[in-house]
Amino acid sequence: MARRGQYAKGAAKRAEILAVALDVVAELGTRKASNREIAARVGLTQPGLMHYFSTREELFLEVLRARDERDHERFHSPQRGFQSFLDVIAHNASVPGLVRLYVEYSAEATLEGHPARAFFEERFVWVRALMTEAVRHDQAVELMGPDVDIPYVVDLVIAAADGLQVQWLLDPSIDMADRLARLWQGVRETSWPAVAT
């Protein structure tokens, strides 16, 4: 029982560190989110911090995972279709450190054998499933036509969202959510068979 207590305590501390690291990265970006800063905010020494996350890569990857879970819990609702996704995008504009972390890690992770590659591959499967759900939602309420090419739409919208993040990091005046809302509207319009005139 003592061991189980220890384990639960360790898991709770790990979750606390992740929550704090998430805020520090969102606020300061990965470069300035030092081990010293994160350790201080959770009342640990730097070696104490490294007991829970042995490398910064591991910590940041878990930050990305925790962020997805938090966003999903906060914003996802199947009844709201694509609007759930737009809410996440709009929220992203308030956490540039996390957007940059995602952009950088997803780029690096494309290397064969990179430790984060599996995470991003699985994440794409997950996001594709969510986006497919959003298309089906629109089809059910007849906002999108029955013959829309779902894999094409799904990949396109995810790609546009990813690419817009790079543009937005260089120029924060770009309204990512607005551009994606208009893309979605365009998909709706072209999803119906052409009317013979």
As measured in angstroms, the least distance from the Cβ of 90 to its own copies is: 16
As measured in angstroms, the least distance from the Cβ of 76 to its own copies is: 21
Q: Which residues bind its own copies (CB under 8 A)?
A: 29, 31, 100, 103-104, 106-111, 117, 120-121, 124, 152, 155-156, 158-164, 166-167, 169-171, 174, 179, 182-183, 186-187, 189-190, 195, 197
As measured in angstroms, the least distance from the Cβ of 183 to its own copies is: 6
Q: What's the token pair of residue 53?
A: 């996350």
CA distances to 47, 53, 112, 166 from 43, in Å? 12, 15, 37, 35
Indicate the residue among 1 and 194 with the shorter CB distance to its own copies: 194
Indicate the residue among 50 and 160 with the shorter CB distance to its own copies: 160
- Helix (H) or strand (E) run with residue 72 in it: helix 56-75
- Asked whether the beta carbons of 17 and 53 are under 8 A apart, the reply is yes
The residue among 112, 158, 104 whose CA lies nearest residue 131 is 158
Hey, is 136 helix, strand or coil? Answer: helix
Indicate the residue among 23 and 162 with the shorter CB distance to its own copies: 162
As measured in angstroms, the least distance from the Cβ of 99 to its own copies is: 9
